[in-house]
Amino acid sequence: MSEDTPVVSLPVVASLEKNMPVELHSLVMWKEPKQSGILLAAITFAYLLLEKSGFTLIGIIANSGMVFLVATMVAANVSTMLGKTNPISFPKVEISEEVAKDVALSVTKGVNAVLAFAHTSATGTIPIVDFGKYILGLYVLAMVGSRFHVLTLVFLVLFSALTVPKGSQCVYAKYHTEIDAFVAKAQEQINDGVAKIKEKVMSATGAKKQE
């Protein structure tokens, strides 16, 4: 796809893109292929290392930290003995306030959404259709969680985050007419099903009130 070709995204992906921090959007959509590729390779390597070697994440972090401290201490002392004024050239890495605020805002929105749902459920004001959706979603999540290790789930989420948005964008750009038609038909069937369920629920509720 050339630079002059207009970017066409799946509506769901386009909606997510609007709420993404600039740095995250750049990584997920592979605007900087080298950085995204390195991150994907690092995630895959870390997963394989943890999954196949039997090491734990805390153990790897602790041992890596010890090796780093010992190596830098030895290098600094050797360089000092050799008369070098700047023994180690190490880049300063820090998280910008903008990125920290974006992450905190996203986490806050997610937590507030969960708390709002919990309050709605506890007060009995949640619509029956939404209740069914959440129950189904939690059931699917429980089934997936029972078949995969937590580490595998984390890897799949991160791997999907770095591959699905860009992949779906490429596929949608080529087949967006067919995809739009399929989504519209599926949405129509879902709406019909939801309407029938609501009608049955309302009928059952009305019958109970008459009794």
For residues 39 and 45, what is the distance between their CA atoms, to the nearest angstrom? Answer: 10
> Cα 204 from chain centroid?
40
Q: 21 in helix, strand or coil? A: coil
Contacts of residue 113, Cβ cutoff 8 Å, sequence gap at least 6: none
Q: Is residue 104 part of a domain?
A: no
| Cβ count within 10 A of residue 169 | 20
DSSP-derived letter for residue 6 is P
| Cβ count within 10 A of residue 162 | 20
pTM for the model: 0.50
Q: What is the number of structural domains in the chain? A: 1
Contacts of residue 78, Cβ cutoff 8 Å, sequence gap at least 6: 87
Q: Is residue 113 part of a domain?
A: no
pLDDT tens per residue across all 211 residues of the chain: 444 444 445 555 555 556 666 677 777 778 888 888 888 898 888 888 887 777 777 777 888 889 888 888 888 788 777 776 665 666 666 777 887 888 788 889 888 888 888 888 777 777 777 777 888 888 888 887 777 777 788 888 888 888 887 777 777 777 778 877 888 888 888 888 878 877 777 776 665 555 5
Q: Is residue 167 part of a domain?
A: yes
Q: Is residue 147 part of a domain?
A: yes
Q: Is residue 173 part of a domain?
A: yes
Residue 68 domain boundaries = 11-99+127-210
Contacts of residue 28, Cβ cutoff 8 Å, sequence gap at least 6: 20, 36, 161, 162, 165, 166
Q: Is residue 121 part of a domain?
A: no
- What is the amino acid identity at position 7? V
Of the CA atoms within 13 Å of residue 40, those in its CB half-sphere come to 16
Are 48 and 163 contacting, i.e. CB atoms less than 8 angstroms apart? no
For residues 54 and 116, what is the distance between their CA atoms, to the nearest angstrom? Answer: 40
Q: Which helix (H) or strand (E) holds 102?
A: helix 97-122
Q: Is residue 162 part of a domain?
A: yes
Q: Is residue 50 part of a domain?
A: yes
